[in-house]
Chains A and B, each alone.
Chain A
Amino acid sequence: MKSLLLPTVPESIAADRHPAWRDSGSWALLPLSVCGLAMCLSGIAGADEGVTAPGYNSEVRAILSNHCFRCHGPDDKERKAKLRLDVPGHDVDFAEVLSRITSDDVDELMPPLEANKPLTAKQIDTLRRWIDAGARYEQHWAYVPPVGATIPERASAIDYFIGRKLQTAGIETTAPPADPLTLVRRVYLDLIGLPPTPEEADTFVNDTSDNAYAQLVDQLLASQHYGERWARRWLDLARYADTNGYEKDRDRNIWPYRDWVIRAINEDMPFDQFTIEQIAGDMLPDATPSQHVATGFHRNTMLNEEGGIDPLEFRFHAMTDRVATTGTTWLGLTISCAQCHTHKYDPITHSDYYGMMAYLNNTDEPDYRIPAPNTRSRSADNAAKAEQLLAELPDRWPLPDGDSAKAAAGLADAAFQSWLQTQRESAIDWSPMEPDKTTANHPYLVHEGEGIIFAGGDTSKHDIYSLSFTAGDQPITALRLEALPDERLPDRGPGTTFYEGRKGDFYLTEFIPSIGDRSLAIAHSSETYAQNRFGNNPVSARLATDGDIQTGWSVAGRVGERHVAVFVLAEPVPAGQSFAIEMHFGRHYASSLGKFRISSTAAPAGESSPSASELPADIAALLARPAESLTKPEMAKLREEFLMQAPELKEQADRIRQLREPVAGTLTMVMRERPSEHSRPTFRHNRGEYLSPREEVSPHLPEALYPADQSPPTDRLGFARWLVSRDNPLTARVIANRQWAAFFGTGIVQTQDDFGMQGTPPTHPELLDWLALYLMDHDWSMKALHREIVLSEAYRRATASPGTPAANAPREFLASFPRTRLEAEIIRDSALRAAGILDTAMFGAPVRPPQPGGVTEVAYGSPKWTPSDGGNRFRRSVYTYQKRTAPFAMFTTFDGGSGESCLAKRDISNTPLQALTLMNDPMFIEIAEKFGSALAGEPGSDRDRIRLAFRRVLTRPPSESELTRLLDFHEKHRDWPALARVLLNLDEAISKP
């Protein structure tokens, strides 16, 4: 140390600040061809070796990354003195670097004092030795594809690598194999998330065959509960919830996606396919309904329904969430750091961030009605029934008392004739008009033939549709606007409202026909139906012509139907004249028309005619024609229309209408790729702000992750395929690491969400690569990987006993099995199983177990929590209704997530609130009561019952002293539920042994 001015801090504090596990591992932006294989290998193994010249990856990179890269790293906007230290080949004067980091002069000193990142003497020494040895860079280990290692024949690879690490660390004694009761409990909890019953445990313990354990593992992997347990972990990453989030936090229907995950995991869907279907299932050739459902993964973003929001702003937030979640889930990269600026540490530029967003951005976000099973035959049955009822309609015409049925048909016929006459008198000949041109601010308008226009894409609080027309050879006296339903629209439309208001509604604020600059006055307007969504104030077609942008026409009470407005012009548009119509939509939420058609007529305008009529367009056209020109089928059509609308037959007609409805499947939320001619551009956003879009960015990947000599994928499907391709060095490692952590509590890379330069280097790099390769080589089978892990010796070791050497070894070395507290859901499910009341029904809409009153009261609208009845109270926790702004209390208390953002790793806390929950929560009290009453009915002595209860909760039998304590308690209180409650509260009951 040169002087007291040196920027050094005591080593102990520096270690606290930048602990050893963060102080190694590195990356350099080297093309693969430059980075020799030997160098890569040495880099990967580097963390293990102690060599004189410090390795770049193992020691140097972390120092530079923490202390220097912020100003001398990948971000060219922040770069100082044009000095770049994160990559080789930049002509760095390392002598100068050395002199600056050891300078006595505070003006010269690096890092500068104000950066508050002083180097320790030891770090300076490391840098000095690295520079002395030639300042050799290495590629960051995680950006180099995993490499296979040779392992001795017949050895378990996992145990070989674990053993080597223990040996290197000088740990010679490992814990003995776990006793069978411990092992069976552990493997049940890990693989299916439930403890074994005493019978199941004993079956295993008593099976002395060599492959008893392997058989048990296979049996558990085949259990339906396996998918329920492992889906829960995936749903944390997918930020799954049953509500929209933000203020209103209303319910959404996306549980079919949750069920898809459970099924896919149970079927052991290869992880590459699992990925592709979730990211881009809709783009697969002949995509199946299940593949559409899978795209719900990125529909799990939140939806702000608060009045007055800018929906496109929150769509942008959803997009940034999608990018961040994709980065965390598959790549183990903190991509979101590059939302605002080029990543300070990892090779992801600001533009790369939006390049990745561009892959995901070209989508619409519709609801999807999953085709119900047997749709076709059910529809056909219904249609046949409807036909029959239709044929019987005339006979149902109400009769004066005593008349015969035959008379009924006659009466109906007479009524039809008179209806025809009335209708003919007021029949208007409307001609659909094909616009010459249509434009809109955000939505894209598609001409679908016969004058029908469909609005796709984005929608805002104030959408403006501009349509230009040329009048035909007749003057135009009135214009008709048909709002048309369509399956593609929210709740079948005709509007595009998808939040805050009534789904499928629209709010037409202005309807402005014009010739040139001159708007055309509207003499009068009419509509077939109008209903406001908020308040009792009127809405009508007339209010869409009053020049007040706040008033207008909407149809909140009857979405999914056709509605008609007619605007009679004060002066006709002359024949052949070009004219335009401008329509304004929206209120404090986006509320535009999704499908519509404009028609015109030359009929003479009277005081109240033409007026809007419910009559379908084709019927109106028939009525406008001379009776003698109608064919027989055309006449039949008119007759059917008459019968169906006749108030006298409403009841029967309603039944027919009902039968004609398409058989409804369950709704879920999906992604749908936009048509290529209407693709959505993606922009770089300055400082990551929604309101600061800059240049357009095309889909691309960060250079460091993609071989420079290949062209990157061009669309979402290509991106999904790249995520799980062998070219991608990250995904298989990230996934394998996450599985490892699920079993052992700690990942081989401890920062499960960060494999970049700021993440921790792997404790067992070769093992991680081996696991990653194993996964890919076994067709991405997660079950195969899980099997391999649980069959290892490391997994089958006992937990550490006090005072043994294994107890002192670092947990992640696995000298003993690391005991951990169970996850929230498993704690609840285990209690239900122990009590014998777990309802194993799978799938379906979310259920509500009991929880204390008042948990949800603080959420917007203070919703009540009404617990489900019957078995639904006791379903597995993965089916529990998840409300984002007020999550299920017991899960929160035990570190469950809220579904508001991607959760790569849950905390494992240990708090008094957990104790209160286990002791006093009504849900656990109910479980203890049911458990207790069942115990009371068991045969045998109190000792037997206590032993049985103990085993149902903890698998193992009680020790004599444990049994004595429990007996004493029981003899004093004589209360089986109280005894059961004590057992469910034990630390061991909520732990994996």
Chain B
Amino acid sequence: MNPNISPNTVSRRHFLRDCGIGLGKIAAAGLLTDSLAGSAARAAAAHAMPRSHFPGRAKAVIHLFMAGAPSQLELFDPKPMLTKLEGKPLPKSVIGDQRYAFIQPDAAVMGPRFSFQRHGQSGAVLGSPLQHLGKVADEICLIRSVNTSQFNHAPAQIFFNTGFSQPGRPSMGSWVLYGLGSETRDLPAFVVMSTGSGLSGGAALWSSGFLPTTYTGVRFRNGRDPILNVSTPAGISDAIQTDSYQLINALNRERLGAVADPEISTRIASFEMASRLQTSAPELMDLSREPKETLELYGCDPEKPSFARACLLARRMVERGVRFINIYHEGWDAHSDVKGNVESNCRATDQASAALVADLRRTGLLDETLVIWGGEFGRTPMVETNPALGRSQGRDHHPQAFTMWMAGGGIRPGVTIGATDDFGFHIAESPIHVHDIQATIMHTLGFDHERLTYFHAGRDYRLTDVHGNVMHQLLS
């Protein structure tokens, strides 16, 4: 297939008539988040017709988004110099004209609040709160030189997910679905879970932007119904539910005989899939068959919503063909007491993040599953103290340098890429912009990020705007 096809450009009629693909076939190959309306491209995106530019190493992505921005200086990037300088301001020449959210540029430096240790054969250096991650150190690629263009939460989160700081562009998951389609017919192909407090970026983080709305991420909630309305409402018997589905489809079929509108066929397929989903979603969420060791590996109470449970569910989703999974953990915004903040967030996330990597390795899925861990920006080497706000020993937002890690899906394991200067302020080696991360993610999935485009409002758009380079040093 030609890789550069803009899916919105083929008329459905053309597709149905000229490409010899019958409606039934499309319905059978159907995407849960897919539709025929308006564009056969969505059908073209079905798993029967993958359209990557070259064979990708990753088939699925699990993005552990650490919303609020974890402190790289406590977790990944040891800076003894900061301990030496503690209490003194950074040289003006280092700070330049960087704008800050809360602190003054002349704020004093604060040394790391934790010790660092080497782990694994690779000798990866991690802060002491990351004991579990240390156990999979040889599987992960630590990137200490990530930088972004945004220094406020909502714009930076939206930027990381869509390549642009304002809402309105498609998210990474939407682009991937648009490019690769789905491998599941019973579950959404792009799932979003959230386990912390509310998110700064809101629904823009998984929006399909100007792509067809069917590429929007489907939120899995923590409550009884993972998907909105997936359960039969209280007071309605199974018999009524089953018979209702049947009767609706029978009446729709009758109508299809009288009106030449293929949308009715799609509607019938949609109701059939909805009915299946009422079974498949609970099956997915049912962790009772997971072995005790697995639950313990994650530290997961199957009955309680948690980051650990979301990670385990993510593995189950990947097994069932879900393509793109976001797990948001909000709570890293350590304007005060960065030490306590890092401790509590690591308690919530460290074991399960590491378990996910180990579990994917054990089940043979890691090579085809890209795991991404990181926030929207980093935190300042300078302390945040503010008597009016009652803050002390915190760190402000820092866009110039932060750390992420990735694993699986064609990423080089057991290496540490990039470095910052002695203050942890600027990148000293291998700067990697968020657009580069996005380009590299798309590459692992088999896409040239410059060629996965969508024509909208007068021009071709892409995830990386007009930027981004694939970082080959991250790839194995």
**A contact set with B: CB distance below 8 Å:** 9, 13, 16-19, 22, 116, 245-247, 249, 302, 304, 306-310, 317, 321, 328, 333-334, 336-337, 344-346, 532, 534-537, 539, 548-552, 587-588, 753-754, 756, 758-759, 799-804, 807, 810-811, 819, 821, 852-855, 857-863, 884-887, 889, 892-893, 895, 898, 900-901, 907-917, 919-922, 925, 959, 961-962, 965-966, 969, 972-973, 975, 978, 981-982, 985-988, 991, 993
Contacts and interface: CB of A to CB of B under 8 A. Distances in A.
A802 to B, nearest CB: 4
Contact of B9 (A19, A552, A801, A993): A19
Given A857-B221, A916-B228, A802 B260 contact: yes
A912 B167 contact: no
Contact of B387 (A551, A854, A857, A919): A551
A346 B254 CA distance: 49
Contacts of A987: 252, 255, 263-264, 267-268
B258 A801 contact: yes
Report which residue of A910, A965, A969 has the largest number of chain B beta carbons within 10 angstroms of its beta carbon: A910
Contacts of B275: 915
Given A13-B2, A308-B101, A852-B225, A915 B271 contact: yes
B365 interface: no
Contacts of B233: 920, 922, 925
Contact of B390 (A537, A756, A821, A991): A537
A969 B232 CA distance: 18
A22 B455 CA distance: 11
A113 to B, nearest CB: 13
Contact of A336 (B99, B230, B261, B457): B457
A900 B247 contact: no
Contacts of A887: 203
B274 interface: yes
A588 B101 contact: yes
Given A819-B261, A884-B202, A909-B35, 19 more contacts: A19-B10, A246-B155, A246-B200, A304-B154, A334-B458, A551-B388, A799-B259, A852-B229, A853-B223, A858-B219, A892-B213, A900-B167, A909-B38, A920-B230, A921-B228, A966-B251, A969-B244, A973-B240, A988-B255
Interface string B188-219: 10000010011111111001000011101011
A384 B374 CA distance: 65
A268 to B, nearest CB: 31
A679 B386 CA distance: 36
A915 B458 contact: no
Given A17-B4, A308-B102, A921-B228, A799 B260 contact: yes
Contact of A911 (B33, B151, B153, B207): B33
B473 interface: no
Contacts of A804: 260
Contacts of B277: 912, 916
B201 A912 contact: no
Given A550-B386, A551-B387, A852-B229, A982 B247 contact: yes
Interface string B314-330: 00000000000000100
Interface in B234-249: 236, 239-241, 243-245, 247-248
Contacts of A304: 152, 154-155
B267 A886 contact: no
Given A915-B271, A973-B239, A860 B199 contact: yes
A908 B37 contact: yes
Given A889-B228, A900-B167, A901-B167, A986 B248 contact: yes
B273 interface: yes
A830 B213 CA distance: 23
10 contacts: A245-B167, A310-B99, A317-B166, A345-B459, A534-B389, A550-B388, A551-B387, A821-B263, A908-B38, A978-B236
B5 interface: yes
A978 B202 contact: no
A539 B389 CA distance: 11
A485 B378 CA distance: 41
B341 interface: no
A919 B420 CA distance: 55
Contacts of A862: 197-198
Contact of B154 (A246, A548, A892, A959): A246
Interface string B331-357: 000000000000000000000000000
Interface in B148-202: 151-155, 165-168, 188, 194, 197-202
Given A855-B228, A985-B244, A898 B167 contact: yes
Given A19-B11, A911-B35, A860 B200 contact: yes
B260 A807 contact: yes
B33 to A, nearest CB: 7
A337 B457 CA distance: 9
Contacts of A13: 2, 5
A691 B386 CA distance: 27
B232 A754 contact: no
A532 B390 CA distance: 11
Given A247-B153, A919-B244, A919-B274, A537 B267 contact: no
Given A304-B154, A857-B198, A898-B204, A801 B240 contact: no
Nearest to B4: A17
Contact of B202 (A549, A821, A859, A922): A859
B225 A973 contact: no
A900 B154 CA distance: 13
Contacts of B213: 892, 895, 907, 909
